[in-house]
């Protein structure tokens, strides 16, 4: 079965280039030229898309708002395409729930590699968890309860809404307490891809995860930073 990619992009030259390449690669491609059309088509598709490519600067409804609305009811992998420079723009995009970003201009080879890695991780995630022994399907760490079967997290038995990548990072740390992970190792484990040296992707996800699970994110109980090395899980 061909994977289905939804492209939301108003630059026709980019759309034609990406659509042509992905079609030749065997993907089923759907296109929207603005955010309003994109949201309408996404809702009408009723979950058929395996990944969404979103440009940040779109007319009618911008990419940030598109991501926010999609994340309100869907965990579909989202890859940002952005021509903007600076960590702030990337951080804002990822903070709204995108899984990764690719900077314009980009090569089709790099785009294809990113898409394959994200889709592979998303499609393999559930089967891997179901291989675990029944007693491993629920992790309890301090005031957190992590339900691996249903990809759910509870703090003081209240649900915590995490993105797919935030959940995967949490699962990685909670399953290996006191183990130190470098940013490259986290990226390799969670994104299932080579690390490109841009720390912003990891920094943003770690910051947002701490905001959601820590009582005081500035003095975290669970996820500790080892400056110049990486992170480790200490809470219990």
Q: pLDDT for 14-36, tens place per residue? A: 999 999 999 999 999 999 999 99
Determine whether 46 is exposed, middle or buried from the number of CB atoms within 10 Å of its CB (0-12, 13-18, 19+).
Answer: exposed
Condensed to tens digits (0 to 9), the pLDDT of residues 187-197 reads 888 877 666 66
CA separation for the pair 5, 112 (Å, rounded): 11
164 alpha carbon, distance to own chain's centre: 6
Q: How many degrees, rounded to 5, is the angle at CA 77 between CA 101 and CA 128?
A: 120
Residue 220, pLDDT > 80, answer yes
Average pLDDT, the chain: 83
5, 25 contact by CB (below 8 A) = no
What local confidence, expressed as pLDDT, does residue 59 receive? 95
Q: Which of 17-31, 71-85, 130-144 has the lowest mean pLDDT?
A: 130-144
Q: What is the mean pLDDT of residues 162-187?
A: 85
Q: What is the mean pLDDT of residues 158-173?
A: 89
What is the percentage of the chain residues whose pLDDT exceeds 70? Answer: 84
User: 183-191 and 200-213 are packed helices; what angle lies between their axes, rounded to 10 degrees?
Assistant: 80
Give the global pTM: 0.59
Residue 176, pLDDT > 50, answer yes
What local confidence, expressed as pLDDT, does residue 123 receive? 63
Sign of CA dihedral 83, 89, 91, 94: negative
What local confidence, expressed as pLDDT, does residue 226 receive? 85
82, 90 contact by CB (below 8 A) = yes
Higher pLDDT pick, 70 / 117 = 70
């Amino acid at each position: 079965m061909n994977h289905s990619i939804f492209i939301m992009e108003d630059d026709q030259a980019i759309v034609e280039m990406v659509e042509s390449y992905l079609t030749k690669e065997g993907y089923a491609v759907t296109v929207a030229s603005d955010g309003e059309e994109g949201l309408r088509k996404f809702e009408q598709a009723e979950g058929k898309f395996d990944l969404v490519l979103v440009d940040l600067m779109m007319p009618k409804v911008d990419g940030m708002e598109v991501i926010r609305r999609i994340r309100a009811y869907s965990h579909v992998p989202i890859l940002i395409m952005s021509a903007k420079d600076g960590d702030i723009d990337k951080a804002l995009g990822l903070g709204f729930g995108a899984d990764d970003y690719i900077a314009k201009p980009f090569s089709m080879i790099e785009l294809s590699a990113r898409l394959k890695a994200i889709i592979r991780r998303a499609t393999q995630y559930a089967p891997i968890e179901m291989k675990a022994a029944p007693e491993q399907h629920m992790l309890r760490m301090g005031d957190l309860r992590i339900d691996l079967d249903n990809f759910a997290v509870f703090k003081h038995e209240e649900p915590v809404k995490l993105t797919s990548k935030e959940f995967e990072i949490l699962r990685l740390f909670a399953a290996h307490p006191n183990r130190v992970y470098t940013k490259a190792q986290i990226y390799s484990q969670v994104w299932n891809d080579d690390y490109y040296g841009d720390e912003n992707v990891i920094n943003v996800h770690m910051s947002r995860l701490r905001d959601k699970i820590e009582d005081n994110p500035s003095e975290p109980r669970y996820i500790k930073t080892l400056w110049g090395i990486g992170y480790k899980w200490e809470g219990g």
